[in-house]
Structures are given as C-alpha cells and as structure tokens.
Amino acid sequence: MIEILYQDDALIAVNKPAGLAVHRSKMVGNAEEFLIDLLREQLGGNVYLAHRLDRATSGVLLIARSSEMAAALGEQFMGRSVRKQYLAVVRGWPEPEEGLIDYALPGSRETGPRREASTRYQRLATIEVPIALGRYPQQRYALVQAEPLTGRFRQIRKHLAHIHHPVIGDCQHGRGDHNRLYKQYFSCHRMLLHARRLQFAHPQDGRPMVIDAALDREYIDLLARFGWSLPALDHDPIDVAVMPTDPPTAADPRAS
C-alpha cells in the first residue's frame, strides 16, 4: 500500500518509497512496478501526476484527481511558487555551512543546452567515522537540507556533486566507494535523498498547503546510529525566493 499523506477531491499527496519508479519511461529500464499504477489500483480510479521524483528518491509526491488539477499544479511548479525541502546525507562537510549553489544544468541529456539552476543548502549535522577508505583513515559525512529554487532534472543530486559533496547512494552522480561503504558497514542500500516537505497553494481555492513526509526505517536507523536529530519543521506561510521564470517548456518539475 502506498502511504497517503493527504487527499481530497482535487489532489492526493503520497509518501513515495525509495526505489519505486513513478511511471513508465526509458530512464527507469525494466521496472516491474510503478507508483502511478499501484495508486490507481489502490484508489480505484484515474489519477494524474502533478510532478515527479526520481526512482531512488523518497518523499512527498503530488497526484491530481483530474488532468485539469494536474495542469494547475504543474503551473505552480513551473512558475517556481512551490517550496520544496529535501534531506540528504552527503560525503564530506560542506563549507560554508549555508550557501547557494548557482550552476547551470542541462536537461535529461547531458549534451543538451544548460539553463540557470540554483539550490539553497544548509548543513544540519556532521560525523567522522573511523573507517579507512583510500588514503584516508576516517570518513566525513553530513546531513544537509536542500531547497531547489529551480526545477532542473536531478538538480539537487547534480548540484551537490558539483560542490564535491555527492549524495550517498547516488549511483549516477555519487561515489561508488562511499556507496559501497554504506552498504557494508551501515546496511544502507538506498540513496539518501528524501523530499521532506512541499508547500504550495491548493489548486481549487488557493489556500496554503504544507505536506510533510516521514523518513523510512532505513533512513531513521542511520540517523540514530550517527546520533543525528532532525530540526523541527516550521509552519511559516509559503515564501520562496523565485528566480525569473523560463518559458513553460523549459522547466522540469523533477529537481531530485
């Protein structure tokens, strides 16, 4: 069963599990299950994606009850009025502790044109573990909150890799040696990127919506092992720094 975080006659918010593809596409290969199909069967009716998360990413995913509601939500994502907060465990300790990554990114094709992309990050916790890897006797890791201000393809993953602090478990943009370390020593077999919160306006009446998604057991166990605690989530109204909007075809609502 897919965990439903919120639902009404216009939209549904679910907590997407890590490793579950959202829908059929060339990028997910030979997946056997898709969230959109499972949800249609679970709810007994048609549902429509309002945005996307990568297969390896967990957390809040919005689903619309109609194509009209999906289009209305999609306009908010493309207009950059949706605030998105992610949690990530990364290699190393990002410096400074808070910053803005401003680095243009291509779309799903690396050879495609690059477009402006910005991600705000904040370092929440750090640890140094006494495990030798390569020429270092100890390894440093950090818990980071990331807020994409634009919506480029795999934006958070690419931006954190760009500043040399890739997400643990990221097979495309991360470090294979550190990914293997987490499997071997911490029994962690997922990418440690989680969409923790979405803030947006309800597509029917415009009321502010705040949807939070809890971490799964594997993520929680890792944080407990490191002695990390999550900061409390605020309940401020939507107030996201918005960059100039591209034409509708330029934005990709998947920023994970």
Which amino acids are annotated catalytic?
A: 54
Which SS3 state, helix, strand or coil, does residue 248 take? helix
Nearest to 15 by CA among 68, 70, 53, 41: 53
For residue 255, give every residue at least 6 positions away whose Cβ sits within 8 Å of its Cβ, in sequence order, or none: 84, 119, 148, 150, 151, 152, 154, 155, 156
Determine contact, residues 116/104, Cβ cutoff 8 Å.
yes
Can you tell me the distance from the alpha carbon of 120 to that of 99, in angstroms, rounded to the nearest whole number? 6
Per the omega criterion (within 30 degrees of 0), is the bond before 231 cis?
Answer: no
Q: How far apart are CA 135 and CA 177, in angstroms?
A: 12
Residue that has been written with the tokens 């799964």 in this structure: 216
Distance CA 80, CA 84 (A): 10
